[in-house]
Amino acid sequence: MKPLGISSDRCLIGGSWVAPQSGKVLDLINPSDGTVLCEIARGAEADIDAAVAAAEDALQGSWGKATAAERGRVLAHIGALVLENKDTLAELEAQDVGKPLKQASADVLALARYMEFYAGAADKLHGQTIPYLDGYTVYTLREPHGVTGHIIPWNYPMQIIGRSVGAALATGNACVLKPAEEACLTALAFAELANRAGLPPGAMNVVPGLGAEAGAALTAHPGVHHVSFTGSVGVGKLIQRAAADNIVPVTLELGGKSPQVVFEDADLEAALPFLVNAGIQNAGQTCSASSRILVQQNRYAEVVEAMANRYAKLRAGPALADLDVGPLVSNRQKDIVEGFLQKGADLEIAAQGQVIGDAPTGGAYVAPTLFAGVTPDHVLAQDEIFGPVQVVIPFADEDDAVAIANGTDFGLVASCWTQDGARQLRMAKRLRAGQVFLNNYGAGGGVELPFGGTGLSGHGREKGFEALYGFTTLKTVAAFHG
Ligand code: ADP
């Protein structure tokens, strides 16, 4: 497969397309119909070694010497090339991940926005001067870590590349990216466009492969100075442990069980589209999906009915049919989600959407499902499902709402729907989450908005200007001049 000039069965290392040293490949499956889309490289330790060495060379060469303004200019150029190729990128992502074309198109625009944002930010990260003892001048320098490792999942490849690689390149790091084995075509396309935009060879390397091989090799590599990971809690723990051996910082974004809290005075008409869309977007395979809807008791029946009416109209089908919901990324993921649906056999199904009749039988389709009458401690209200499944939970008052909202091991995103201004401010303080939304959910994606979690949702922040601090290390310079 060679869209945009990529070689899908190769790694991109040091600016060149190179076959994995083992010669091995993996099948990349199209989740809309279960067929093989193409072969991808099964990169492993030797390829990671080569990529880290290429990144180090870039740091010793022109990339390490580039000024902040020059780095920003390259990022701006990458963003422009992303926009020029937006239709091809959207189709690649839709086919690879199984996401409806309109979602894939939104993801391309987000990738371009990340490039634009970090292009503008590159030369605006300043140190400080610190008043000190007589005879001293003291200042701080923000310096890149060096080689940064980026291990990304399959659910939003372009958006996650944008937020993590964008901030890393803006601050002068050189990147080695390990995309997910389920979806890696836009990672390869991005690196190709970055090279065309003038990014020096080796500043951006991509090694596709299995997590336990290429991913583990990248995490454990002594030449990697920072690891950012987005994915499951289990793998996040492995990554933090491996990074401990090299004493390198990690940024972990590990998903959530994010609630929307609907108080009795909420504007339900405004809330409804957010209540449902935040659960079914990308077939629920979103770290910040809102999988729990908490509703004050006296409006509970009304909200369940209104959500159920929307669910009944949802249709799932192939990515390119561009319906409300696409397939899940794989039949493995479908099995996981169906396992959760079985665990909800004791619950009331308030409504289900439909998989369209002519959806290919090999596709990984699951009908969007809304459960009502759910208790806060039920496994469906506690575990991250990563599928188009939401639960609606009643609550009595504000204290009860806070206890339920904060009553999982996660803390990524939360939202609160109320017209009471004082309650909005109280809830923003009381909700345990890295992002809180008041009378909205997600704020349109928010490239500018720092993002990350607490508890099992991880630590560190990506997105926005804040990410630049995470991708740099601080040096204090104290000069004595008498
Ligand atoms: P999921 O279960 O949703 O696929 P994972 O956390 O397994 O999520 O995968 C996210 C990313 O982490 C993928 O790129 C995957 O290849 C990678 N990965 C999986 N296992 C490991 C590991 N042991 N070390 C490093 N990376 C891994």
- Average pLDDT per 10 consecutive residues for the chain, totaling 482 residues: 85 98 97 96 98 98 98 98 97 96 98 98 97 98 98 98 98 98 97 97 98 98 98 98 97 97 98 98 97 98 98 97 97 97 95 96 97 96 98 98 98 98 98 98 93 97 98 98 97
pLDDT of residue 19: 98
pLDDT of residue 231: 97
pLDDT of residue 445: 87
- Cα 217 to averaged position of ligand 1 atoms, centre (Å): 12
- Which residues touch 48 (CB under 8 Å, ≥6 apart)? 176, 178, 207, 214, 217, 218, 221
The three-state secondary structure class of 265 is: coil
The closest residue, in CA terms, to atom 18 on ligand 1 is: 211
Sign of CA dihedral 230, 257, 101, 361: positive
* Residue 445, number of CB atoms within 10 A of its CB: 17
- The distance of Cα 63 from the centroid of its chain, to the nearest Å, equals 26
pLDDT of residue 4: 84
pLDDT of residue 1: 63
CA–CA distance, 452 with 464 (Å, rounded to integer):
11
- Which protein residues are within 6 Å of ligand 1, measured from CB? 151-153, 178, 180-181, 211-212, 215-216, 219, 231-232, 235, 238-239
Q: Which of 287, 358, 288 is nearest to 323 (CA)?
A: 358
Catalytic residue selected from 56, 116, 253, 384: 253
pLDDT of residue 356: 97
287 catalytic per annotation: yes
